[in-house]
A and B are shown apart, each in its own frame.
Chain A
Amino acid sequence: MKKQLMVVAFVASLALVATACGGGGGGTTGPTGGTGATGGIPTGGILREETTDFGFTNAFDPTGEYLGAAWAYYGNFLLRGLVSYPWLPGEKGGNQPVPDLATDLGQVSADGLTITFTLKDGVMWQPPLNRPVTSQDVAFAFQRINTKSLIAQYGNYYCGTIVGMDCEGKSQEDPIEGIETPDEKTIIFHLERPTGDILYRLAQPAAAPVPPEVAGCFDKAGEYGRYVMSNGPYMLLGSDELDISSCDTLEPIKGFDPDKFMYVVRNPNYDQATDDNRQNYIDGWSLVINTNLDDIYNRVLNGDIDIAHGAPPAAILQQYLTNPDLQDNLKTNSGDRTWYITMNLIVPPFDDVHVRKAANYIVDKAAMLQATGGPVTGDIATTIEPPTVLPDLADYDPYATPNHAGDVEAAKAEMAQSKYDKNGDGVCDDPVCDNVLMINRNYDPWTEYTPILTENFKQIGINLKVRELDVSTAYTTIQTMSNLIPIAANAGWGKDYASPYGFDFFLFNTAGLSCEGAVNYSNIGLDEALAKECGPKVYEAWKAATDNGKNPLPNVDQDMEECVAKPFGPEYNACWAALDRKLMEEIVPWVPYRWGSQNTVLADSVVAWEYDQSAGWTAYSRTAVNNGLTMDEVAQI
Chain B
Amino acid sequence: MGQVTDEEVAEPGRTLGGAEPGSTIIGRTPWQIFWMRFRKDRVALAAGAFLILLAAAAVAAPLIARGLVHHDPNALFRDTLNEYGLPVVGPSREFWFGVDTSGRDVFVRTIYGARTSLVVALLSTGFAVGLGILLGSLAGYLGGWVDTVISRAIDLTLSLPVLLFSIGIAATCSITAEGCLGGLVQPGISLVTAIIALFTWPYIGRIVRGQVLTIRNKEFIEAARAMGAGTGRILLRDVLPNLAAPVIVYGTLIIPSNILFEAALSFLGVGIPPTTPSWGRMISDAARGQLYTVAWWMLFFPGMALVFTTLAFNLVGDGLRDALDPRTQVTG
A452 and B102 form a contact (CB under 8 A): yes
* One of A314-322, A544-552, A602-610 at the interface: A314-322
Is A554 in contact with chain B by the CB < 8 A criterion? no
Determine the distance from Cα of A71 to Cα of B83 in the docked complex, in whole angstroms. Answer: 33
Interface string of B269-298 (1 = CB under 8 A from A): 100011100000000010011110110000
Is B245 in contact with chain A by the CB < 8 A criterion? no
* One of B169-177, B202-210, B248-256 at the interface: B169-177
Determine the distance from Cα of A78 to Cα of B85 in the docked complex, in whole angstroms. Answer: 40
Nearest residue in B to A458 (C-beta to C-beta)?
B74
Q: A450-B275, A467-B175, A469-B175 are in contact. Are A371 and B86 (CB under 8 A)?
A: no
The residues of A that contact B82 with a CB separation of less than 8 Å are 318
Is B158 in contact with chain A by the CB < 8 A criterion? no
B86 and A367 form a contact (CB under 8 A): no
A side interface size, CB within 8 A: 42
A467 and B74 form a contact (CB under 8 A): no
Interface string of A313-348 (1 = CB under 8 A from B): 111111001000000000000000000000000000
A483 and B290 form a contact (CB under 8 A): no
Determine the distance from Cα of A468 to Cα of B274 in the docked complex, in whole angstroms. Answer: 7
Determine the distance from Cα of A370 to Cα of B87 in the docked complex, in whole angstroms. Answer: 11
B81 and A370 form a contact (CB under 8 A): yes
Is A272 in contact with chain B by the CB < 8 A criterion? no
Report the minimal beta-carbon distance from A521 to chain B, rounded to whole angstroms: 15
The residues of B that contact A437 with a CB separation of less than 8 Å are 176-177
The residues of A that contact B75 with a CB separation of less than 8 Å are 455
Most chain A beta-carbon neighbours within 10 Å: one of B174, B187, B274: B274
A314 and B174 form a contact (CB under 8 A): no
Is B198 in contact with chain A by the CB < 8 A criterion? no
Cross-chain contact of A373 among B84, B275, B285, B290 (Cβ < 8 A): B84
Is B51 in contact with chain A by the CB < 8 A criterion? no
Determine the distance from Cα of A448 to Cα of B86 in the docked complex, in whole angstroms. Answer: 11
The residues of B that contact A280 with a CB separation of less than 8 Å are none
Determine the distance from Cα of A469 to Cα of B293 in the docked complex, in whole angstroms. Answer: 26
Report the minimal beta-carbon distance from B142 to chain A, rounded to whole angstroms: 44
The residues of B that contact A477 with a CB separation of less than 8 Å are 175-176
Determine the distance from Cα of A313 to Cα of B285 in the docked complex, in whole angstroms. Answer: 12
Report the minimal beta-carbon distance from B317 to chain A, rounded to whole angstroms: 34
Cross-chain contact of A313 among B274, B275, B290 (Cβ < 8 A): B290
Determine the distance from Cα of A485 to Cα of B175 in the docked complex, in whole angstroms. Answer: 9
Interface string of A258-292 (1 = CB under 8 A from B): 00000000000000000000000000000000000
Is A627 in contact with chain B by the CB < 8 A criterion? no
B290 and A316 form a contact (CB under 8 A): yes
Report the minimal beta-carbon distance from B267 to chain A, rounded to whole angstroms: 12
A315 and B86 form a contact (CB under 8 A): yes
Cross-chain contact of B171 among A321, A376, A473 (Cβ < 8 A): A473
The residues of A that contact B78 with a CB separation of less than 8 Å are 367, 370
A370 and B102 form a contact (CB under 8 A): no
A447 and B76 form a contact (CB under 8 A): no
Nearest residue in A to B295 (C-beta to C-beta)?
A315
Report the minimal beta-carbon distance from B210 to chain A, rounded to whole angstroms: 42
Cross-chain contact of A318 among B86, B176, B187, B273 (Cβ < 8 A): B86
CB contacts under 8 Å to B, within A356-380, are 367, 370-376
Report the minimal beta-carbon distance from A198 to chain B, rounded to whole angstroms: 40
Report the minimal beta-carbon distance from B196 to chain A, rounded to whole angstroms: 20
21 A/B residue pairs, CB under 8 Å, sorted by A: A313-B290, A314-B294, A315-B289, A316-B289, A321-B84, A367-B76, A367-B78, A370-B84, A373-B85, A374-B84, A440-B274, A443-B288, A444-B288, A447-B285, A450-B275, A451-B74, A452-B102, A454-B275, A468-B274, A469-B174, A483-B175
| Extra inter-chain contacts (5) besides given A442-B269, A468-B274, CB under 8 Å | A294-B289, A313-B290, A374-B83, A444-B289, A451-B74
Binding site for A on B (CB under 8 A): 74-76, 78, 81-86, 101-102, 104, 171, 174-177, 187, 269, 273-275, 285, 288-291, 293-294
